[in-house]
Structure 1
Amino acid sequence: MNMTWNKLLSPVRSLLAGLLCLGLMLWLINPAIAAPLTAPTPIYEQRPIHNPDGIGKFYMGREIAQVMGHQGAGWLERPSRELEEQPQKLIPQLGLKPTDVVADIGAGTGYFSFRIAPLVPAGKVLAVDVQPELIEILEYLQQEKQLSNVEPVLGTVNNPNLLPSSVDLAIMVDAYHEFEYPREMMIAIARSLKPNGRVVLVEYRAEDPRVFIKPLHKMSQRQVRKEMASVGLNWLETKKFLPQQHVMVFGKSA
């Protein structure tokens, strides 16, 4: 009986020995082949200890800043903004055509949306925000200013709700650093661009110690370029005509 079992098990033992030898050979050639599969690196990291101005969520090495709520709408319209940031210099530098469709992401009270609208009379401005209270303000001001080519759009934290291939220029002014899901948002924004569409990010310069803004509300050009490259957006140029902010321009990869 034992001899019968030995005869039956002998081929199995030989097979197992062969597989063991094969595995050893593969490991000697390339240890990665025999290595166990590891979980993919998560896009975001949550840390319990973090800057009080942030949300404890980290993306590509930086902490995401807290969102300024609709309660701060008055700060966006403060009279001193003209002197501090000189936004009147920005709009002429955008190279807009009358037929352009512009997406103002994180539009807030429409500070830029309503200033851009007259320059695109045959186009429109999609004023995107995630806060319903700000959408109400945008709708009220749109009627008050009688600018029919400004369309308030309620987005979500991971989707601006823009149609694919519909936008000539997507602009974010002091907004991107607060996106709770920056990767998902930028993928959606890139998808919304027309073939020659552009993305313009205006952010306070982290490299400049003379810019007295909380650190998480500033971004370095290096960090922005790294994050945009990860979603297939190519850096085109950085303009430095504003006193406190970069104006960084990106286009879709071919």
Structure 2
Amino acid sequence: MRFRHFLAITGCSLAFLVGPELVAADEKPTESASESRYETRLRHDPNGIGKFYMGREIARVMGWQAAPWLERPEREKEEKLSSLVKSLEIKPGMTVADIGAGSGVISAMMAKAVGENGTVLAVDIQDEMLSLLDKKMKARGIMNVTPVLGTEKDPNLKPNTVDLAFMVDVYHEFAFPYEMTAKLAKALKPGGRLVWVEYRKEDPKVRRMIKLVHTMTEAQVKKEASQPEFGLKWKETIDVLPVQHIIVFEKKK
């Protein structure tokens, strides 16, 4: 399987399944849930970091060395990124934030959708990814994409400035999902949308393809996003993609 070879030369943890899930995450946490919103478990899925949030293990982050995998020619066929962009009904002039933008594949598509009067804020926590993204945008003459260096707890977006923020196959890797969701909600304008795009854990086909910690159920996303302090409400779940949910929340006006 070619993903196995790619994994060997990059040293990265990819979402695609290249071997069996080896360890069950069934140990009692070393830290009480009453003391923290996160738990650490000694035994856990080897593809996760051993840190749990609301019953879900957080996955390992895909490193910048895996950028060629994000650029693979077959990605459109596998994930239908063009259908994702179309389904979100982007309007010219919008400010859109691509959270976990990576090398900028979707940022470039969004740049066309928002038009020359719109802005795409391409957020990533890896300088190397943003460098690759910036070079790509300059080479293609795309002027309305702005790289933004975030942290594990903060996307570094100004409050009440974003019409739409979306996360494609990235939220499940957030080391601090609670803090990031809180900051993203603050960055949205009233009525703005926060979108989770995650591999469907409910789908047996997806579970055969994708490592379990890189998948999420719709119910789990709703559970994590619906905490009242975020001020978000579920708007819709769009099922137009082959293997992923598009779960849309809206900031209360």
TM superposition shift of 1:39: 9.6
* 2:252 partner amino acid: S
Which stretch shifts more, 209-218 or 224-233? 224-233
Q: Does 1:220 align with 2:217?
A: yes
Q: Does 1:48 align with 2:45?
A: no
Aligned Cα root-mean-square deviation (Å): 1.3
- The aligned counterpart of 2:163 is 168
User: Which of the pair has the greater relative contact order for Cα pairs under 8 Å at 6+ separation?
Assistant: 2
Find the residue that maps to 2:160 and give its secondary structure. Answer: coil
More helix per residue: 1 or 2?
1
Identity of aligned residues (%): 53
Q: Distance in 1 between matches of 2:91 and 2:80?
A: 22
Q: Distance in 2 between matches of 1:159 and 1:55?
A: 20
Structure 1, residues 217-248: CA drift from partner, whole Å, max 9, x if none?
00000000000012332111101111100000
- The aligned counterpart of 2:76 is 82
Q: Is the 8 A contact 2:91 2:114 kept in 1?
A: yes
Q: TM-score, normalised by structure 1?
A: 0.83
* 1:202 partner amino acid: V
- The aligned counterpart of 1:25 is none
Q: Is the 8 A contact 2:190 2:252 kept in 1?
A: no
- The aligned counterpart of 1:196 is 191
Which of 139, 145, 159 in structure 2 is aligned with 1:150?
145
* 1:216 partner amino acid: V
- The aligned counterpart of 1:246 is 245
* 2:245 partner amino acid: H
TM superposition shift of 1:253: 3.1
Tell me, which stretches of 5 or more residues in structure 1 are unaligned? 1-37
Tell me, which stretches of 5 or more residues in structure 2 are unaligned? 1-31
> Counterparts in 2 of 1:61-140, with a 5 A limit?
61-121=55-115, 122-140=117-135
Structure 1, residues 71-110: CA drift from partner, whole Å, max 9, x if none?
1101111111111111111111111111100000000011
Structure 1, residues 49-91: CA drift from partner, whole Å, max 9, x if none?
1110000000000000000000110111111111111111111
Alpha-carbon spacing, 1:227–1:143, altered in 2? closer, same or farther (3 Å)? same
Q: Distance in 1 between matches of 2:120 and 2:196?
A: 16
TM superposition shift of 1:48: 1.1
Q: Distance in 2 between matches of 1:179 and 1:43?
A: 14
Structure 1, residues 105-143: CA drift from partner, whole Å, max 9, x if none?
000011100011011121100000000100110111111
**Aligned structure 1 segments of 4 or more residues deviating by more than 4 angstroms:** none
Q: Distance in 2 between matches of 1:104 and 1:82?
A: 17
Find the residue that maps to 2:204 and give its secondary structure. Answer: coil
Find the residue that maps to 2:36 and give its secondary structure. Answer: coil
Q: Distance in 2 between matches of 1:217 and 1:42?
A: 23
TM superposition shift of 1:41: 3.8
* 1:127 partner amino acid: A
Q: Does 1:179 align with 2:174?
A: yes
In the alignment of these two chains, the number of paired residues is 217
- The aligned counterpart of 2:11 is none
